[in-house]
Chains A and B, each alone.
Chain A
Amino acid sequence: MCASERNLVSNTVLHALRCSLATLVLLGVTALRAQQAKPAATEGTGETQEDNRALRTREFLGLGRMPDVKMAAEGAKIFGPNCGFCHGADARGGTGPDLLRSPVVLHDNQGEVIGSTVREGRPSQGMPAFSSLTDDQIRDISEFLHLQVELTANRGTYKILSVVTGNPKAGEAYFNGTGKCNTCHSTTGDLAHVGSKMEPPDLQQAFLYPGARGIANGGSKSAPKATVTFPNGKTVTGMVKYQDDFYISLYDADGKYHSIVLDQGVKVQVDDKLVFHRQMLDRYTNEQMHDLTAYLVTLK
């Protein structure tokens, strides 16, 4: 690996580290909030939702202690020049093993296992002893490695990189042309400022299918409207509260609650406003989808 390549890798790692630092500092704040026994905010800003996702995922995975991001940042500086030559600046291996799935790293808690390996080296496998590193330096290196593991293993920390790659002009043409989006929607009406209301990945998901799971800050969908027709021809129309194959309940226009067992002959007609969105999912090309995203994010 030539020097410039090494720098490139180091810069990438440092960039990733900076981004991850921000995430993990936020994570720490969220964790503190949770410790204070206040209900953690799950609605509201996308940021908070993502932090919760990361925390929930690490709990699900049974990952250990949260790495200390400040120590990890110090550790990155020591790891690069001392260890990166063999293990790669990102610790994903080079001439030496990939440390993200090293039993030494994964069995370590606070440097006690990593420390002895680093200090004693593994002469039989060509790893020299780094006996001059201080306890603090070893601890920092350990935190750096644990952070790399965290950012790999905890998929709740993953960020969608960029969804805005399309051509906004083409997206606008599609919106008003082939896509016929303007039949129901208006960029000065219901979609006014949508580009500043939602993060691009949420916006992309939401225009494809509003109300899909996991959309932060928007994309909400109203309860469907249904009409129930009885065998005698009588009908009830209202907003559906609950529906399965056997039973439906709804609120009519006066707010009156109706609970109906779907016996033989009782028919339900659901007014699915999103049917066109669903049909479009078979029609979009990837390019059209990205062009539309690129256009909608310009609606600031």
Chain B
Amino acid sequence: MNLGHVALLFCLWLFLSPGLLLAQGLDPQKLLQREPTDTWPTYNGDYSGKRFSPLTEIRAENVRSLAVAWMFRVTIAGGTMRGVGEPEIKSTPLLVNGILYFTIPDHVYALDARSGLELWHYDWVDAGGHLVGNRGVGMYGDWLYFLAPDGWFISLEAKTGKERWRKKVADEKMQYFTTAAPMVVGNHVMVGVGGDAIDVPGYLESRDAVTGELQWRWNTEPKKGEPGSETWPNDAAMAHGGGMTWLPGTYDKDLNLLYWGTGNPNPVVAGQGRAGANLWTCSIVALNPATGKLAWYFQASPHDTHDWDNTETPVLFDAEIEGKPRKLLAQAARNGYFFVLDRTNGKNVLSKPFVPLNWSKGVDANGQPIPDETKEPREDGTLMTINGGGGTNWMPPSYSPQTGLFYVNATLGYSLTYLTDTSERPEGYGGSGRGLWSQHVLEALDYKTGDVKWSHSYTDDPSAFRLGGPGILTTAGNLLFTGDYKRNLIAFDATTGNILWHFPMLRSLGNGPETYLLDGRQYLIVGGGDTLYAFTLVPAR
């Protein structure tokens, strides 16, 4: 074999090997890497959901030298989106080989991460569904996965933005909506759904990364006679469903378990037709990613009547409990509780409120909160100690192994909850709420005790309201990046909570900040309203 033959064979091999042919694709090994530094390949940066980066170029001592490297503003026809107003970036962009991929509802963008230059833009025309947000894309090799708001699961070529195929995964006419970032595990693409205006069942689907075909579907409610059905009064009540799966989960490759949060049961507020715990709504579930089989569950809000969607990120980390190394899962739940579980079996390690609350009387032997029936929604109103939207919401929290602290943007507050459908067979929400005083607070929680190690109350309007809020990133530079509700991007000292730096953006931080190395330089990427900002330290020249 002469050199010419070798070269020819090499070219042939390149041509036939899809992973290498398109050199800008995502190496699947990168998805299995913990805390990667040169890429941000999935919604949370890695499968753990920690949103912690080991990068230290930007650190407490020099964070004041951060400067805007570039900005990219999304512009859409008409300027506003149906039912929500101006577009807001809630997605966490993927960074793969120098290209950023991010979304707003109905739109996917690819940007040159060095300059913010738009490479392509995919524009979907929806036939319904909520435009409340879109959390981003998933990636497998050279392909991207995107959920359009009206139940379409779409695969794009990462290089061009060209559509490969689309599959219907949820029916927007049944009031499902699809806002999640698809999550790739092996050749499985996990697709979650939302919906609460019509009483429909929740589910999580695994779709084939190559073809988009259904591999399995896990239903949030059991079928007639199955385990869990005993927590519903009858099959008709169980058919009202709920338990949506609208935020990405997390994954432990060693245990080969997928962790997912499920939303509230239906009807949302009027619970009189569904006596019982209503499994597996308002729970954290562990599933086998190959089969969708349930390994264990922990129910955060049995028989929820307060819209305590339990979809908040289940964050995975290994740390000591009473001197022994443990595989843990922690969640700051919308219902106001901070939970720490043993992620091998779902056994409760800690349940403690991180905001004042009165909907629960305490926890049972399994660490699950016990609802206080005197705080059920009433026709004439029930006064609640907790913000109407919960103690936190979908915005990503962070865990820093460096400080051992779990960070969450919380809201303290009081609210009123009303029952508006008093019939025996309520349907829809069947109730409503009104806000009273509330206060946004950044909290640093000790994972061992749930104690608030430090907190920062943002100076804010006491009855301000925003659907969603700022996410959190921590780094080995002892930094915590997040934002307030008044446009400021803020860097905190992760250990003490002291503010080190801030930058007033055009609009408030609306996504989870991320960081990575590109050309040996550390970048910080954040979404403020309709604009993506890239920061680096002020360059030497």
Contacts and interface: CB of A to CB of B under 8 A. Distances in A.
Given A155-B428, A163-B381, A205-B434, A61 B83 contact: yes
Contacts of B431: 158
Given A154-B197, A213-B463, A244-B486, A286 B83 contact: no
Contacts of A61: 83, 130, 175, 197
B309 interface: no
A88 B126 CA distance: 34
A56, A61, A106, A154 pick with most chain B CB within 10 angstroms? A61
Contact of B385 (A59, A165, A282): A282
Interface in A164-200: 164-166
- Looking at A56, A59, A208, which has the most chain B CB atoms within 10 Å of its CB? A208
Contact of B484 (A56, A164, A212, A244): A244
A90 B484 CA distance: 46
Contacts of B382: 286
Interface in A123-169: 149, 152-155, 158-166
A204 B385 CA distance: 16
B420 A12 contact: no
B465 interface: yes
Interface string A36-48: 0000000000000
Contacts of B486: 244
Interface stretch (B107-115, B136-144, B166-174, B203-211): B166-174
A61 B177 CA distance: 9
A121 interface: no
A267 interface: no
Interface in B148-175: 149-150, 171-175
A281 B427 contact: no
Given A243-B459, A281-B437, A12 B423 contact: yes
A158 B172 contact: no
Nearest to A61: B197
A8 to B, nearest CB: 11
Interface in B230-263: 236, 239-240
A208 B83 contact: no
A122 interface: no
Given A59-B82, A161-B379, A244-B486, A101 B199 contact: yes
Contacts of A64: 128
B359 interface: no
Max chain A C-beta neighbours (<10 A), residue from B177, B378, B380, B464: B380
A161 B420 contact: yes
Contacts of A160: 379, 381, 418, 420, 432
A209 interface: yes
A245 B239 CA distance: 48
Interface in B474-510: 484, 486-488, 490, 499, 502, 504
Interface residues on B, range: 35 or more
B98 to A, nearest CB: 34
Contacts of A56: 83
A106 B173 CA distance: 6
Contacts of B82: 59-60, 62
Given A103-B173, A155-B197, A93 B425 contact: yes
Given A62-B83, A162-B379, A286-B374, A201 B175 contact: no
B198 interface: yes
What range describes how many residues of A lie at the interface? 35 or more
A277 B436 CA distance: 10
Nearest to B502: A246
A278 interface: yes
B502 A101 contact: no
B462 A274 contact: yes
A60 B174 contact: no
A229 B420 CA distance: 49
Given A106-B198, A245-B459, A281-B437, A289 B427 contact: no
A155 B432 contact: yes
A81 interface: no
B399 interface: no
Interface in B425-444: 425, 427-429, 431-432, 434-437
A116 B410 CA distance: 52
For B173, B236, B490, the residue with the greatest tally of chain A CB atoms inside 10 Å of its CB is B173
Contacts of A244: 458-460, 484, 486-488
B522 to A, nearest CB: 24
B129 interface: yes
A205 B128 contact: no
Interface string B93-135: 0000000000000000000000000000000001011111000
B465 A213 contact: yes
A234 to B, nearest CB: 21
B420 A101 contact: no
Contacts of B488: 244-246
A214 B434 contact: yes
Contacts of A204: 381, 416
Given A93-B236, A204-B416, A244-B488, A153 B197 contact: yes
B198 A152 contact: yes
Interface string B79-90: 000111000000
Contact of A209 (B129, B458, B463): B463
A158 B423 CA distance: 14
A284 B436 CA distance: 14
Given A100-B427, A158-B432, A281 B385 contact: yes
B427 A92 contact: yes
Which of A59, A155, A274, A278 counts the most B-chain CB atoms under 10 A from its CB? A155
A61 B132 CA distance: 9
B501 to A, nearest CB: 10
Contacts of A59: 82-83
25 contacts: A56-B83, A59-B82, A59-B83, A60-B82, A60-B83, A60-B84, A107-B173, A155-B197, A155-B429, A155-B432, A158-B431, A158-B432, A160-B418, A161-B418, A161-B420, A201-B381, A204-B381, A209-B463, A213-B435, A213-B463, A214-B435, A244-B460, A245-B490, A281-B383, A286-B378
Given A62-B130, A106-B175, A213-B464, 10 more contacts: A56-B83, A59-B83, A60-B82, A103-B174, A155-B428, A161-B380, A163-B380, A165-B380, A209-B437, A286-B381
Interface of A: 12, 56, 59-64, 88, 90, 92-93, 98, 100-101, 103, 106-107, 149, 152-155, 158-166, 201, 204-205, 208-209, 211-214, 243-246, 274, 277-278, 281-282, 284, 286, 289-290, 293
